[in-house]
Amino acid sequence: MNIVLRGLSALVLCFGLTACATVTRGTKQEVTFESTPPGAVAKTTTGYVCDSTPCTTKLARKEAFDVTFTKDGFKPATVSVQSRMQGGGTAGLVGNVLVGGFIGVGVDATSGALLDLTPNPVSVTLDPADGSN
């Protein structure tokens, strides 16, 4: 009986120390950059550069950023990308709470796994520069 209680206690402890969203969602998210017309350079304030849209990369979920699209003959355009809790992150939080993983909640919150980058895809329509067709 004592060994069963120890095993059960170890199992509960393991569940309590896991970070549900960090395991299931990860700390990075695929983000797609699109422009009309295509072929623009997209540069984020976090240092990522896409040489020609459309393009996709993985970025940290917890870091909001701005992305500036540039293309010869067009005005630059900047879009703000926010980091906020949405559907998948909320499910991860609920999973942690139900299993009793308050340490997991802390890990998920600090790692950014509970967050989503939005908008995604990041899309922009570039306006022609003055004097352009």
User: Do the domain assignments include residue 93?
Assistant: yes
Closest CA relative to residue 85, chosen from 31, 18, 23, 21: 21
* Per-residue pLDDT tens digits for 25-46: 678 999 999 999 999 999 999 9
| Residue range of the domain that includes 68 | 19-125
Q: Report helix angle 102-111 to 87-99, nearest 10.
A: 150
The runs of H, that is alpha helices, within the chain are 2-17, 20-24, 87-99, 102-111
User: Do the domain assignments include residue 133?
Assistant: no
* Per-residue pLDDT tens digits for 84-130: 876 543 444 444 444 445 444 454 555 656 788 999 999 999 999 98
User: Do the domain assignments include residue 5?
Assistant: no
Sheet containing 122-125, strands listed edge to edge, beginning at the edge strand earlier in sequence: 55-60, 28-36, 122-125
User: Do the domain assignments include residue 69?
Assistant: yes
User: Do the domain assignments include residue 102?
Assistant: yes
User: Do the domain assignments include residue 1?
Assistant: no
Look up the pTM and report it.
Answer: 0.68
Split into its structural domains, the chain has a count of 1
User: Do the domain assignments include residue 14?
Assistant: no
* CA–CA separation, 74 and 40 (whole Å): 9
